[in-house]
Homo-oligomer: A and B are copies of this chain.
């Protein structure tokens, strides 16, 4: 079985070959820019890896892998418009480098390009590949919708938060892996197991991201710590804290959250401390561990090669920054 790094290099090369140097440049240059910014290429890598579990000819999944990466980048262009975001991965977003209209229209074209790439897939399972892709795309839009709605709500429950991050984050990784497996010719049981594994791992990854946003190290996290706290984002941490807080803790927490003019460092430190004293941090870590363990157990029970299992277990460890 190949390594994550080799698969990633193959994907980078294929992305470089996509060729968006065509007219009208105003439409295609932002696509080339967005696709060239890099990132970990997790989803296309895992799409190829899932395919390779069932066939040596894993390159059959390359167009679909690229389609998923294209779709992922399309969502970034439009999310950045909706969030007025100027920076991503330390580079200006398309809306910042060009403008909102460009990000909307080039994003639209990226969604169409994603379908064009997907359509190049040569497989008897094409109809299922196509419906999996579209159903996943719809779920991602639903997740973004819930995420926006939660900003306006004060009564978001933990189960609602988990469903939102399932839709917004986990299903695209799971869809990528399912599509790779479908193209590889996997049976229904293996597809279901891989899908469940990916959803649990995706959820654990998002909870880890929430924890790092609040408790992480600025240098390794790559952006300023405390962003979620400053935005009052209803994360697992915040919802748990409000649930577990004593009357006094709750009052203190709500005071800090609504304090518009408090210095950032003070606010972040105070809320962080409340996340610890209420047990919210511990609850989030526990939930993340449970999901990780569940994903690994699903993998363990699968009837695939030991090598394949090791690859997917390593991926989980890498995603969740664990040493073995």
- A127 at the B interface (CB under 8 A): yes
- A108 at the B interface (CB under 8 A): yes
Q: Mark A120-146, 1 if CB is under 8 A from B, else 0.
A: 000000010011001001100110111
Choose from B82, B105, B113, B141 the contact partner of A27 (Cβ within 8 Å). Answer: B141
Residue contact A141 to B119, C-beta cutoff 8 Å: no
- Residues from chain B with a CB closer than 8 A to the CB of A146 are 24
- Residues from chain B with a CB closer than 8 A to the CB of A24 are 142, 145-146, 149
Choose from B115, B134, B144 the contact partner of A105 (Cβ within 8 Å). Answer: B144
- Residues from chain B with a CB closer than 8 A to the CB of A119 are 127, 130-131, 134
- Residues from chain B with a CB closer than 8 A to the CB of A107 are 108
Within 8 A of B (CB), among A32-76: none
In the complex, A116 Cα to B26 Cα: how many Å?
A: 29
- A104 at the B interface (CB under 8 A): yes
For residue A131, which residue of chain B has the nearest CB? B119
- Residues from chain B with a CB closer than 8 A to the CB of A137 are 112
- Residues from chain B with a CB closer than 8 A to the CB of A194 are none
For residue A144, which residue of chain B has the nearest CB? B105
**18 sampled A-B residue pairs with Cβ under 8 A:** A24-B149, A26-B145, A27-B142, A27-B145, A81-B104, A82-B101, A82-B104, A105-B141, A105-B144, A105-B148, A108-B108, A108-B111, A109-B138, A111-B111, A112-B137, A115-B130, A116-B131, A119-B127
